[in-house]
Amino acid sequence: MAEENKSATLTIDGQSYELPLHSPTAGPDVLDIRKLYAQAGVFTYDPGFTSTASCDSTITFIDGVKGELLHRGYPIDQLAGKSHYLEVCYLLLYGALPTAAELETFESTITRHTMIHEQMYNFFRGFRRDAHPMAIMVGVVGAMAAFYHDSTDISDPVQREIASHRLIAKMPTIAANAYKYSIGQPFVYPRNDLDYAGNFLNMCFSVPAEEYQVDPILSRAMDRIFTLHADHEQNASTSTVRLASSSGANPFACIAAGIACLWGPAHGGANQACLEMLKEIGSVDRIPEFIARAKDKDDPFRLMGFGHRVYKNFDPRATVMKQSADEVLDLLGVENNPILAVAKELEQAALNDPYFAEKKLFPNVDFYSGVILEAMGFPTSMFTPIFALSRTVGWISQWKEQLSDPAHKIGRPRQLYLGETERDYVDIENR
Ligand code: SDX
């Protein structure tokens, strides 16, 4: 915590209270209200946490006005352009870029944890073939606690480390298995001779009947998508993981809770919802109709892939994602993809519309990721599982950071109660 040298005065009914003001290394000052209820007998009220810092952290910083995203101080566009996902995982987990030797050891460790317990394959067969892969991931990741007992004791740093490696390593295997099961193809085991992204593509798209060559451009694009989704400060799913962890729940239960939260269309489910929206629009001449609906207060329709709680400028990830979309579609010869044509036209129409400019609604990370994933051959139902796979390292890094804070305690918000005051029970014959 930054040293305290500033404070704010709050006056209630003529009584003044001094509240410390913390100065961060970047971003707005933070008013410390931890002692407010004890001193003044009042709560603060901030549903949706629009003005609330739930913790201090050194992992990721977002400047929503500048459209800046830093991971341990490194800008996301530099990481996406010069680094790769497992190196970013190391950075998020340990706070510094690895040496060549450290990176080799880390990548080898992750590679050797990519297999899942053979009995876990039975879980997939217990689901309907048309089960949403996110339902499968929530179930199977939570069930890891039933198999990896030797890494559930959160008080043991060694077990925390093993659990971290297992989750990062096994998420691609679990996500790929969910996909294979949904299309009735046999599961493909992980391979140690492939890198992280190539291994995932192989587990998703190879079949026993023929050789599958991982295309290096698609593998690079896949790896970049993982990197762009790796962590994002205290978003809804990360806050869910932190809250679950604050009760002492094991790491697999905490990550399963994060996956469940990410599934929502307002959060990680937006990439699937965005592509379904683009398909519903279908052609550029229907864009005005949907723009009008998005602006109509009486219409619940929203432009999926637009807007963000923090970014009131371009989401820097969307900028990189857009470049990737062009590369992948050119490679796959689908640069004339009608969905991409609608996406590009919709983006321009929205960006030039005063409504979206006034409300600072710009394309977010989900706007282009779906177009790339569809072009790569993934069904829309796999978009959020890929987001969950990518975000696991962010959840884990934040989970580790919270557990390493000796002052951390169970999260237990209060409320603004507007219900009935005490009243006596009325027997049914008197109602
Ligand atoms: C992710 O938090 C993170 O960091 C998340 C994430 C991460 O990496 O973890 O970045 C990933 O979840 C990205 C966001 C993906 N979601 C979508 O694309 C869904 C569509 N977007 C919206 O639902 C919305 O923009 C949110 C949920 C993303 C943000 O909502 P806020 O901050 O609570 O803003 P709001 O709902 O209060 O909207 C402010 C105004 C409203 O109008 P008024 O009531 O003030 O008149 O903007 C309007 C909204 O109606 N608005 C939209 C809109 N988003 C907001 N209008 C049309 N289309 C939209 N997409």
Q: What is the pLDDT along the chain (431 residues), one digit of tens a residue?
A: 555 579 999 999 999 999 999 999 999 999 999 999 999 999 999 999 999 999 999 999 999 999 999 999 999 999 999 999 999 999 999 999 999 999 999 999 999 999 999 999 999 999 999 999 999 999 999 999 999 989 999 999 999 999 999 999 999 999 999 999 999 999 999 999 999 999 999 999 999 999 999 999 999 999 999 999 999 999 999 999 999 999 999 999 999 999 999 999 999 999 989 999 999 999 999 999 999 999 999 999 999 999 999 898 889 999 899 888 888 888 887 667 788 889 889 989 988 999 998 998 988 888 889 889 988 999 999 999 999 999 999 999 999 999 999 888 999 999 999 999 999 999 999 99
Select from 302, 351, 355, 383 the residue to mutate for testing ligand 1; criterion: most ligand atoms less than 8 Å from CB. 302
Question: 36: Cβ–Cβ under 8 A, 6 or more apart, which residues?
Answer: 10, 17, 19, 42, 43, 44
User: Is there a contact between 58 and 72 (Cβ–Cβ < 8 Å)?
Assistant: yes
What's the gap in Å between 158 CA and the centre of ligand 1? 39
How many Cα atoms are found within 13 Å in the side-chain-facing hemisphere of 168? 31
- Coil, helix or strand for 316? helix
Active site residues: 308, 366
- Report the candidate in 97, 125, 85 with the shortest Cα–Cα distance to residue 221: 85
Dist. CA 309–CA 390, nearest whole Å: 20
37, two tokens: 């209820």
In this structure, the chain runs to a length of 431
Could you write out the DSSP letters of every residue in 116-178? --GGGHHHHHTS-TTS-HHHHHHHHHHHGGGT-GGG--TT-HHHHHHHHHHHHHHHHHHHHHH
User: Is there a contact between 45 and 52 (Cβ–Cβ < 8 Å)?
Assistant: no
Residue identifier of the C-alpha nearest atom 47 of ligand 1 = 359
What's the gap in Å between 47 CA and the centre of ligand 1? 15
Which sign, positive or negative, has the C-alpha torsion 258, 259, 260, 264? positive
